[in-house]
Structure 1
Amino acid sequence: MAEKKSEFWGWIRAIIVAVIVTLVIQTFVITSFVVSGESMEPTTYNGERFIVNKLSYRLGEPERFDLIVFKADENADYIKRVIGLPGDTIRYEDDVLYVNDEAVPEPFLEEVVAANGSDWAYTEDYELSGEVPEGYVFVLGDNRNNSLDSRRIGPVKMDDIIGKVGLRFWPLNKMGFME
């Protein structure tokens, strides 16, 4: 009887330790994120699931073209692409991104822009008034004509960034690390 009681308490301790370790990892290291909507197509699609690295920006700064998840408001987290960093000037003209008045290629969009032809602007002309403020990033969805992003909500505070998108784990046939 004492042996069964000891085994029972051993299992309880193991479960408690596992729950604590899981909570610590989800609070400080990684979390999962489910894409909701079409704003990042063709890079990500509604319902896809990702692991988000919460440590990446505690140890470093966002880089241009990183995919990030950030707190958009009390009820919603968004996935977007970092386009502008603090101090950058941003504009789009004739479907070309200019950062600090230099044309910057967006290789992740080349295929979809080419498929739509030259008669149609994938990204409407836009110019950020002033520079991206210190402590903020300028983000866009890859589906430029169907994205609620910095063009409407303004630059995103770095403190609101949850983390960098890392591994796509659903659907299984698309599993892999995001670039």
Structure 2
Amino acid sequence: MSEAKKKNEWFEWTKAIIIAVLIAVFLRTFIFATSIVEGESMDPTLKHGERVIFNKIIYILDQPDRGDVVIIQRPTKNYVKRVIGLPGETIQLNGNDLIINGEEYIQTFLTEDAMYKTGKFGPIQIPDDSYFVMGDNRLISKDSRNGLGFIHEDEIIGRSELIIYPFSEWSLTK
């Protein structure tokens, strides 16, 4: 193999590696990222120590929907919670009943046990630029009811899409 051909092959490999790294950095920065679940507040949907991939671009293109599992960025810590109330809605929790704008909403994403541990809250109106979030483990979750307050739309940085670790738990988050 000639010296020129070796240099050309080396150049092509270097170029391919640089392009792959740039694509990975772009995807990590603007499209997808990973997060580690800390605590039990989203159990059984997400368990302590699981790693999830979250979609960072989804809310640039669209708004969060009720039931989405979202990543919330706060100055000292990120939180993983479920969107329960949308901007402008009135929320009331009465034990296992979630009442939105005066109508009962069936929480298909919760276990019956979790519904009974929700407690009473509200009624309260959500500001037009904010969301009401709760953890699925209602008994112990720090959320919009008891510490996080309303979540401004700018604080929601992505939607959880996929559990990637531990490998035995690979699944979509819902």
TM-score (norm 1): 0.87
Q: Give the corresponding residue for 2:166.
A: 171
- 1:18 deviation in Å? 1.1
Which of these residues, 43, 65, 70, is aligned with residue 68 of structure 1?
70
**Contact residue 42 and residue 112 of structure 1 kept, 8 A:** no
Q: Aligned runs of 1:14-93 on 2, under 5 Å?
A: 14-71=16-73, 73-93=74-94
- Cα deviation for residue 75 of structure 1 reads 3.2
Letter in 1 for 2:6: K
TM-score (norm 2): 0.89
Q: Which moved more, 1:91-100 or 1:4-13?
A: 4-13
- Which stretch shows the higher mean deviation, 1-10 or 154-163? 1-10
In 2, Cα distance between equivalents of 1:132 and 1:41:
25
Amino acid at match of 1:28: F
Count of matched residue positions in the alignment of Structure 1 and Structure 2: 171
Q: Pairwise CA RMSD of aligned residues?
A: 1.7
Q: Deviations over 1:100-123 (max 9, x none)?
A: 121111122234348xxxxxx401
Distance 1:111 1:82, change over 3 A: same
- Write the distance in 2 (CA, Å) between the matches of 1:76 and 1:113: 25
Tell me which protein shows more helix as a share of its residues: 1
User: Residue 126 of structure 1: SS of its match in structure 2?
Assistant: strand
Instruction: Give distance in 1, aligned partners of 2:50 and 2:19.
Output: 30
Quote the sequence identity (%): 39
Deviating beyond 6 angstroms after TM superposition, the runs of 4 or more aligned structure 1 residues are none
> How far apart are the structure 2 equivalents of 1:32 and 1:176?
14
SS at match of 1:107: coil
Does structure 2 retain, via aligned residues, the 8 Å contact 1:91–1:125?
A: yes
Structure 1 residue 128 displacement after superposition: 4.9
CA contact (8 A) 2:41 2:141 kept: yes
Pick from 119, 122, 125: which aligns with 1:127?
122
Contact 1:168 1:178 in 2 (8 A): yes
